[in-house]
Homo-oligomer: A and B are copies of this chain.
Amino acid sequence: MIKTLEWTNAGVRFIDQRRLPTEEIYVTCGNYREVATAIRDMIVRGAPAIGVAAAMGIALGIRDSQAGSYSELRPELELICDTLARTRPTAVNLFWAIRRMRERFDSLAAEPVEQIKRALIDEAQLMYLADIAACEAMGRNGAVLMPSSGGVLTHCNAGALATCGYGTALGVIRAAVEAGKKIHVFADETRPFLQGSRLTAWELTKDGIPTTVISDNMAGAMMKQGKIRAVVVGADRIAANGDVANKIGTYTVAVLAREHGIPFYVAAPWSTVDLATPNGDHIPIEQRAAREVTHFAGKQIAPDGIAVENPAFDVTPNRYIAAIITERGIAKTPYSEALQKLANSVELSTASV
């Protein structure tokens, strides 16, 4: 099994996703600042993985503190959380994870420092296990939506490498394959970072799931040729109305899918749903460095000084989405009601426990 990230006594250990697929190298971040850098530099990426990485970063920062009491720990927690919150703006799982760790910290005001440290490490590890369980539940919920055979297109990497294991979109595909469906994955290479050709192709090949890599601009031609029967992607943030921010290019795939009458599915853990954001227009979109577009493996591929756009994400309006698959269940249009219902149902069940 791929270990995307892992808590160790030496720190948080990541597979370096910049080096895949040709080099399988692990790096250990020995303090929370190194974890923040790993998130910003995309050693680790994928909304669910970023969230758990941040939680582990907070646990690590607090563990290393010299503070003697809860009240001395608090300003350190603020600094640690601020540092991690400033790494990447779009994936809401980051902020969800930071909030959850803060809430856990708040609940420990009466505890001695060693207890607090232990409790935060435990909380981060619980989030790690819950993420894998959520992916498996998404897989069970979503597998039924996959065709019994044929091509399924995915964009970017919403797999084991984007989560603590199993994956969101790729979790749905894995569960469908485990259920006997004969799926052939088409993986958009996903410029500029190539998460599709480098990461999705790598992890699916390891699992023996047939995969074909295409350039992003081939998706339309593949659909027109009848090679694609469904699309499934992950998400970095889902607004209250069901608009979905995901890797740049997702919107283009959604438009193409609708034009060809192909269902377009989104799979994401509930922590990606941001009911405080009314719609996609309010989701902050990260702009990354021009060099990701102008250079490739150190080689310059555009003229000196050329202007570049490099938004890391785009927003797919809810009307293009056939279903949003979460561990709590499947939401369909109208999304505002469907997502609210999933939110309420679990609050009720939690309240009744």
Contacts and interface: CB of A to CB of B under 8 A. Distances in A.
B189 A215 contact: no
Contact of A309 (B222, B293, B300): B222
Contact of A213 (B307, B314, B315): B307
Contact of A255 (B202, B218, B259): B259
Contact of A197 (B155, B293, B304): B293
Contacts of A303: 21, 201-202, 205
A308 to B, nearest CB: 5
A308 B191 contact: no
Interface residues of A, number: 56
Interface stretch (A44-52, A65-73, A92-100, A246-254): A246-254
B297 A249 contact: no
Nearest to A280: B224
Contact of A217 (B191, B211, B224, B259): B191
Given A220-B255, A307-B213, A189 B293 contact: yes
Given A191-B189, A299-B297, A214 B309 contact: yes
A248 B205 contact: no
A309 B217 contact: no
Contacts of A218: 248-249, 309, 311, 314
8 contacts: A190-B217, A191-B215, A198-B301, A213-B308, A215-B310, A216-B216, A220-B249, A296-B297
Interface of A: 21-22, 155, 186, 188-192, 194, 197-198, 201-202, 205, 210-222, 224, 248-249, 251-252, 255-256, 259, 293-294, 296-311, 314-315
